Chains A and B, each alone.
Chain A
Amino acid sequence: MMRCTGALCIICGCGYAGLKAAGTYSRRVEVLRNLQNGFSLLETEISYSSTPLPVALRRAGEKLDKITGSVFGKAAALLEMNRGYTAGEAWEEAVSILAGESFVRREEMSVLLMFGHGLGNSAREEQLKNIALTREQLRIIEKKALENRDKNTKMWQYMGFCLGIIIVLVLI
């Protein structure tokens, strides 16, 4: 009886880890899409109504999911505090929210950080170009992430359970 319970625990545990690993692939695609949406919203705010950056960032952030929204929201908050942050510095600090997350890779981080360098120090056209470029880069990354997801999700889902079964067999 003890053996059976133990075996079941190992299989379930490994299976869960596999599902988790598979989940990061879809989560990554989701985050990339959300970021692109955020930049589109920002673009609209800047090009149509010349909204000042803090307000534009806040409005874009409010329409996104929790994690990406918090990046935009934090950048807005830092600028609104008027502590002497430049837009680039505020953005960089806000992006660091994502740094520890398992579903965020170095690729998109570097795109986001690059965006910060061009933020806030030039005329409207330049700002819009910067946003468009960032969005385009994120789109390319998303495409790859999508392929990755399709390739790997199934594999990780099975692998977790298989690994669990192998361990159980070895132990028995």
Chain B
Amino acid sequence: MAEVTYSWQDYLVPELRGLMKSGMSKHLAEIEEIRLRLGRPLVLRLANREVTLDENGMVCERLEKGIVVGRDLIERSVQVLSQGSLYAWEEEIRNGYITITGGHRIGLVGRGVLEKGEIKTLKEISGVNYRIGRQVLGCADSIMPYLVGKNGMFCHTLVVSPPQCGKTTLLRDIVRQISNGVGSLRFNGVNVGLVDERSEVAGVYRGVPQFEIGMRTDVLDACPKAQGMIMMIRSMSPAVIATDEIGKKEDVEALHQALQAGVSVLSTVHGGSLAEVKERPVIGELLSFKFFERLVLLSRGKGPGTVEAIYGGRNWERMK
């Protein structure tokens, strides 16, 4: 059977697909999110604004004029995106989203079905959020020189960023570059262990990473971070361990093990500024005993992925 390649538009119902092709054709590459909320207008999130589509399929900034999402549209969308097999995605639905080919994610909300006090699945789906993952090859180019230390080793790095500022995209590109090596810095590629708890960084679909993550990268997909990091250290001898969004107590234990094993750590955390992150219980402690050597702060200042500052050194001096 020939492998069929899908784009994210294949997961939309035909009428939405049509609208994307007609009204949104100019902005297709900009779409970050498509949100369907029952009884409310369709919302499309672009790089720096939110728009909707009116009845004529025209782009429109006043959301209240947009097409109202009906029950039928949501039900059909769920059928199409799950290929009529919502039951096959129960595990994913428990986490709230489904990863599709291309590494995009579709978030779902609805009414929980409980079994023994735990969520078994969702029914009466009332909201669907298509999150279009983007790969920006080379978005880490400008910061790579700061992340490689004088001894030629990759520094323990933490990316701090508010939501939707391209934190995962940046992490992905850093992973790719340290895995492939950076010629201009005379940095040879090293083994990278990527613990991808939410299948977001590598976007693994049926075992195949959907994004470029480098030649020397091993992915532990959908594993809890703390356990996954320890497994990685034991099994794949990585020089760098990368993971998204640390912040739990058990993560700290795993980070210490990485330190003892001489493995560099690359991770991200939600936050708007250095001061804010320092106040956080777990991350604050990590920062106070200087686990991380570099801190990269992101913002949406000049579009997603703007590098606001890089901190390093003993007192978090600003390097850039």
Contacts and interface: CB of A to CB of B under 8 A. Distances in A.
A and B are partners in one complex rather than unrelated chains: yes
Contacts of B13: 84
Q: Give chain A's interface secondary structure class.
A: loop
Interface in B81-105: 82-88, 90
B123 interface: yes
A120 B85 contact: yes
Interface of B: 4, 6, 10-14, 17, 75-76, 78-80, 82-88, 90, 113, 121, 123
Contacts of A82: 4, 6, 10-11, 80, 83
B44 to A, nearest CB: 18
A83 interface: yes
Contact of B14 (A79, A84, A120, A127): A84
Given A82-B6, A82-B11, A84-B14, A50 B90 contact: yes
Nearest to A50: B88
Contacts of A127: 87
Contacts of A110: none
Interface of A: 46, 50-54, 56, 79-88, 90, 119-124, 127
Nearest to A126: B87
B113 A121 contact: no
Contacts of B75: 121
Contacts of B78: 121
Given A120-B86, A123-B121, 12 more contacts: A50-B88, A52-B88, A53-B83, A79-B84, A82-B10, A84-B17, A86-B80, A87-B84, A119-B84, A122-B123, A123-B87, A124-B90
Contact of B80 (A46, A80, A85): A85
Given A84-B12, A123-B113, A123-B123, A79 B83 contact: yes
A1 B80 CA distance: 69
A53 B76 contact: no
A54 to B, nearest CB: 5
5 contacts: A52-B88, A79-B84, A84-B12, A87-B84, A124-B90
A50 B10 contact: no
A53 to B, nearest CB: 4
Contact of B86 (A56, A88, A123): A123
The list of the 4 closest CB pairs from A to B, nearest first, reads A87-B84, A120-B84, A124-B87, A84-B14
Contacts of B14: 83-84
B83 A54 contact: yes
Contacts of B121: 123
Contacts of A120: 79, 82, 84-86
A123 B54 CA distance: 34
A46 B83 CA distance: 14
B86 A121 contact: yes
Nearest to A46: B87
